[in-house]
Structure 1
Amino acid sequence: MYPVVLLVVSVVLLLVLISKLHLHAFLSLLLVSLLLGVASGLSLVDVANLVAAGFGGTMQNIGIVIVCGVIMGEVLEQTGAAQKIANSILRLVGIKRAPLATAITGGVVSIPTFCDSGFVILNPVIKELSRVGKIPYMVLVSALMAGLLTTHSLVPPTPGPIAAAGILGADVGKVMLYGLIISIPVIVGTALFSNSKFIRSRYPEFAEEDATSQQESAAYKATVKHAPSTFMSYMPIVVPIILIVVRSFVTLYGDPKAALSIFLTFIGTPYIALLIGTFISFLLPKKLTGEVTDTWVSTAIQKSAEIVLITGIAGCFGKILQATGVGPILADAMVKTGMPSVVLPFLISAIVLIAQGSATVALTTTAAIILPMLGGLGISPELAVIAIAGGSFCGVFPQGSYFWCVSKLAGYDIKKGYIAVTLTSFVMGGIAFVSILLMSLVVA
């Protein structure tokens, strides 16, 4: 049981360092990885080599993918393409179904962009919807919050699920497909909860109209007016997803020696597909200038740097855990309990989220913990990633930046924030948990 004790102590130490001592996740994961390696009896040389191998191996899988995805999202934001996508969905679904339209809009916009950025972009829209449609603002806030967070955690190319897929060696195409499938009941179910009598009766207020709101609304309309066409706005998102999913099918059913199969496999490789999406996004500005190809790209690289480094160092943690031999022990114990194998990654991810607040850290850390026991759990890497992703949004508390992003932009105190964000995130997690359990009956 010594390896199990080491795992528990290392996870507790990790959470204390991040949430209590406020040591950055990168340094916390690196320090705990080194201490775990030494405590497990590995030689100092082996510990150093395993940490380097874990970091390098993870970067090899997902480093370029994350950077390209963030660049693409930055261009979509800067050109107004993200706003154009939102506008098209809201028009399609209609104001009568505004909560569902809002949740779907958040789900689509958050595939290429961060959920925090998505809320900043779309908050003026839901304020206008609330006033014009006489819809309680809280209904739309919780629906948008949930839609954004769902695909941010479940659907690549956002950094979290890409990182978890890289650590576990999952097929990104399958993760996309599974993530999109699970996102549907989560988004629809949360939209129904947001529009329920429970929310409407307690918080019936419409969005206030003041000078700031008028300015935000005018700025949003101006952005949409000068944005690229709706068709072009979708292309940087849709093309990479299609290429990656096609690659997965070709890998399973195609002739590996055929020239077409080789070509489709190449362009569907995640970092190649995302690179293609990035260059497609360069077609969105009215004029391709140095500001687009240099300044916007530099900004995106700066945004992605922290995520890339945390993901890489989580790979170190996973590599050390593999060396301790704890994986087969826990996997065997899990199997003997008779519980579905997806329960463990979901619960660990939810606990890590609640303890420190970041969905991305929850995804990467949990993937590293699950890696050494994956073979014994009897589930595919892809299903493990989805289970981890489902847990990574189950319980968003004030220690997470997204809680404050939503609460402050909506003008809510902490009590209203607990309803709009925390309670809604538990509803999301519950729906995701049931959906993932059902999926595990069909998909290995």
Structure 2
Amino acid sequence: MNFCLAALENAASIPGWYSMTILAIGIAIVIGLIVKARFNAFVALIVAAMVVSLLAPGELSSKVSRVAEALGVNAGKIAIVIGMAAIIGECMMLSGAAHRIVQACLGIFGERRAPLALASSGFVLGIPVFFDTVFYLLVPLARSLFRSTHKRYLLYLLAIAAGGAVTHTLVPPTPGPLAMAGNLGINLGAMMLGGILVGIPTAAAGLAFSVWLDRRMPLEMRALPGEEVLEHDAEVAPPVTPQALPGLFVSLLPILLPVLLISSNTILDHFAKASAKSALVAASPSVQGEAAQKAFLDSYLADSATPLASWNRYSAVWGNPSLALMLSAFLAAIVYVRQRRPTAKDLERTVETSLMSAGLIILITASGGAFGAMLKEAQIGSAIQSIFNGGDTSGAPLGGMLVMCLAFLLAALLKVAQGSSTVAMITGSSMVAAMIGTTDIGFSKVYLATAIAGGSLIGSWMNDSGFWIFAKMGGLTETEALKSWTPMLIVLGVTAFLTSLLCAALHIPLPG
């Protein structure tokens, strides 16, 4: 054992088969500890990172410490953002801002288009609020709509799930997309824009499937356990009136503010770099075709927006995700205080509750990044160069497409094995990042991330908490959930993957 560790300590490189063996051991530990031993995902990922680090080459004295260092680096990237996002979601729920957004969607689309209103509400609320909370919020509306229409109950449930699941897996600052952006080195503003770009047709496909399935599988609404008590309490409690809710603009502001701040920084940064790109094209006659055209457009935008580009150093401050989410959390808290007049103790409890849930997510996300960093130390990238046409994918789009297919299948495998979309995205993107290294895949890495997100939706069944939330809150049996929730998420996942492939093939540009 000591001889093997000493040999690895002095090895500059290791055989490809050994790297692949380390990868297989790492995957087996993660899946085995989560699925079989029922360990928390943080424990499983950090144990896997430790084992991979010990088996990988490097100084023996640093093999444990580098895992802790990687954990710290990854936590530093996402801790503030996830913590602030949790506060935003909690304050929006308690202030009535989330309820106001739902009311606005129903008012725009009307009762006849209630499924579209529910899907739109889920899509918007799924950006700052976790999926289970979105579903808890909107299910009572679905049940209320069925009481008035006496039809389309399954459609209402699936519409909520389609909208909420899409943004939960595609658009930051929810933990999965946020972790993928960090692991793959993607600008957060570009991840937001790309997630929305892929998410809109994905949610539309999910809604269309929901309409089709509801006609072939009509379900009646059933009483939930304890519903009699809840209905009695609802009669006693004062009804929620429009006067008790914040205005629509104020309700949307905690969502819109970080999107605008981060996206503006991404665009201005793109303009600031455009002149340098155009200078390189002018100096290199070998750069032709599409690359030259794109650089010319970048140059034109930069020259015509020089005053905007000069703001880049300021936008780097206001567009920093940590500051943008902090401002948004402060705004959401102000709305909560203004609407509900909580005591100082209540406000403290609200913040503490949201941060306690965020703490575990931060640990899981950071440990996934540490696992990916240790896979890089195990030289996984060089071991899988054959997948990328010998490691050269510039000018060979097929290599990039193979990467995307592999990433999608890997995320789907992880999802089926352990149930959590967030863990599948964190672990899958860590592995893919270790595989590709600095290789140019031929298109924006945002589409690689959205393909991973699509894979993380495939194969949701009884090991997925979302499955049980949908079934129990909706009053469905396990069989009914398997026939509705599971195939609907497959439609979402496949659509997100195909949309990502199409955007990558068309080279649809994204800033950053």
TM bucket, shorter chain = over 0.9
User: Equivalents in 2 of 1:403, 1:257: separation in Å?
Assistant: 47
| 1:359 pairs with one of 405, 413, 421 | 421
- Which residue of structure 2 lines up, in the alignment, with residue 199 of structure 1? 214
User: Equivalents in 2 of 1:223, 1:306: separation in Å?
Assistant: 36
C-alpha displacement of 1:234: 0.4
2:324 maps to 1:273 = yes
Structure 1, residues 402-422: CA drift from partner, whole Å, max 9, x if none? 111111111111001112321
- Which residue of structure 2 lines up, in the alignment, with residue 232 of structure 1? 250
C-alpha displacement of 1:39: 2.1
One-letter amino acid matched to 1:151 = T
One-letter amino acid matched to 2:431 = I
User: Equivalents in 2 of 1:32, 1:63: separation in Å?
Assistant: 22
C-alpha displacement of 1:38: 1.6
- Which residue of structure 1 lines up, in the alignment, with residue 473 of structure 2? 409
TM-score (norm 1): 0.93
- Which residue of structure 2 lines up, in the alignment, with residue 376 of structure 1? 439
SS of 1:170's equivalent in the other structure is coil
- Which residue of structure 1 lines up, in the alignment, with residue 349 of structure 2? 295
One-letter amino acid matched to 1:202 = M
Structure 1 window deviating more from structure 2 (329-338 vs 398-407): it is: 329-338
- Which residue of structure 1 lines up, in the alignment, with residue 284 of structure 2? none
| 1:72 pairs with one of 58, 64, 88 | 88
Q: Is this contact kept in 2: 1:119–1:145, CA < 8 A?
A: yes
| 1:389 pairs with one of 449, 453, 464 | 453
| 2:163 pairs with one of 147, 156, 169 | 147
Q: Is this contact kept in 2: 1:83–1:220, CA < 8 A?
A: no
CA 1:443–1:58 in structure 2 vs 1: closer, same or farther (change >3 Å)? farther
Q: Percent identity?
A: 30
- Which residue of structure 1 lines up, in the alignment, with residue 198 of structure 2? 182
C-alpha displacement of 1:288: 6.3
| 1:434 pairs with one of 485, 491, 498 | 498
CA 1:49–1:308 in structure 2 vs 1: closer, same or farther (change >3 Å)? same
CA 1:409–1:206 in structure 2 vs 1: closer, same or farther (change >3 Å)? closer
- Which residue of structure 1 lines up, in the alignment, with residue 144 of structure 2? 128
CA 1:349–1:256 in structure 2 vs 1: closer, same or farther (change >3 Å)? farther
One-letter amino acid matched to 1:137 = Y
SS of 1:195's equivalent in the other structure is helix
One-letter amino acid matched to 2:78 = I
- Which residue of structure 1 lines up, in the alignment, with residue 382 of structure 2? 328
Structure 1 window deviating more from structure 2 (372-381 vs 215-224): it is: 215-224
CA 1:220–1:23 in structure 2 vs 1: closer, same or farther (change >3 Å)? farther
Structure 1 window deviating more from structure 2 (255-264 vs 415-424): it is: 255-264
User: Equivalents in 1 of 2:419, 2:266: separation in Å?
Assistant: 33
Q: Is this contact kept in 1: 2:115–2:155, CA < 8 A?
A: yes
C-alpha displacement of 1:365: 0.8
CA 1:367–1:292 in structure 2 vs 1: closer, same or farther (change >3 Å)? farther
Structure 1 window deviating more from structure 2 (383-392 vs 355-364): it is: 383-392
User: Equivalents in 1 of 2:36, 2:471: separation in Å?
Assistant: 23
CA 1:58–1:343 in structure 2 vs 1: closer, same or farther (change >3 Å)? same
Q: Is this contact kept in 2: 1:18–1:24, CA < 8 A?
A: yes
Structure 1, residues 200-228: CA drift from partner, whole Å, max 9, x if none? 23224256697457458766952765221
| 1:170 pairs with one of 166, 170, 186 | 186
Structure 1, residues 410-444: CA drift from partner, whole Å, max 9, x if none? 11110011123211111111111111111111247
- Which residue of structure 2 lines up, in the alignment, with residue 260 of structure 1? 311
SS of 1:376's equivalent in the other structure is coil
SS of 2:63's equivalent in the other structure is helix
Q: How does 1:68-147 map to 2 (within 5 A)?
A: 68-147=84-163
C-alpha displacement of 1:347: 1.4
User: Equivalents in 2 of 1:224, 1:59: separation in Å?
Assistant: 41
Structure 1 window deviating more from structure 2 (284-293 vs 51-60): it is: 284-293
SS of 1:395's equivalent in the other structure is coil
Structure 1 window deviating more from structure 2 (309-318 vs 384-393): it is: 384-393
CA 1:24–1:187 in structure 2 vs 1: closer, same or farther (change >3 Å)? same
2:259 maps to 1:241 = yes
One-letter amino acid matched to 1:78 = L
One-letter amino acid matched to 2:406 = L
2:77 maps to 1:61 = yes
CA 1:137–1:365 in structure 2 vs 1: closer, same or farther (change >3 Å)? same
| 2:359 pairs with one of 300, 305, 314 | 305
User: Equivalents in 1 of 2:346, 2:84: separation in Å?
Assistant: 14
C-alpha displacement of 1:235: 0.3
User: Equivalents in 1 of 2:187, 2:77: separation in Å?
Assistant: 11
User: Equivalents in 2 of 1:427, 1:223: separation in Å?
Assistant: 37
CA 1:391–1:377 in structure 2 vs 1: closer, same or farther (change >3 Å)? farther
One-letter amino acid matched to 1:422 = T
User: Equivalents in 1 of 2:155, 2:169: separation in Å?
Assistant: 22
Structure 1, residues 324-378: CA drift from partner, whole Å, max 9, x if none? 1111332432446854432122211111111111111111111211112233361
One-letter amino acid matched to 2:483 = I
TM-score (norm 2): 0.81
One-letter amino acid matched to 1:328 = S
User: Over the residues paired in the alignment, what is the CA RMSD in angstroms?
Assistant: 2.3
SS of 2:488's equivalent in the other structure is helix
Structure 1, residues 264-289: CA drift from partner, whole Å, max 9, x if none? 22111111110110111122122364
C-alpha displacement of 1:296: 1.1
User: Equivalents in 1 of 2:322, 2:386: separation in Å?
Assistant: 35
User: Equivalents in 2 of 1:4, 1:239: separation in Å?
Assistant: 44
Q: Is this contact kept in 1: 2:189–2:259, CA < 8 A?
A: yes
C-alpha displacement of 1:259: 6.2
User: Equivalents in 2 of 1:262, 1:217: separation in Å?
Assistant: 52
Q: Across the two proteins, how many residue pairs are aligned to each other?
A: 443
- Which residue of structure 1 lines up, in the alignment, with residue 5 of structure 2? none
- Which residue of structure 2 lines up, in the alignment, with residue 6 of structure 1? 22
Q: Is this contact kept in 2: 1:318–1:368, CA < 8 A?
A: yes
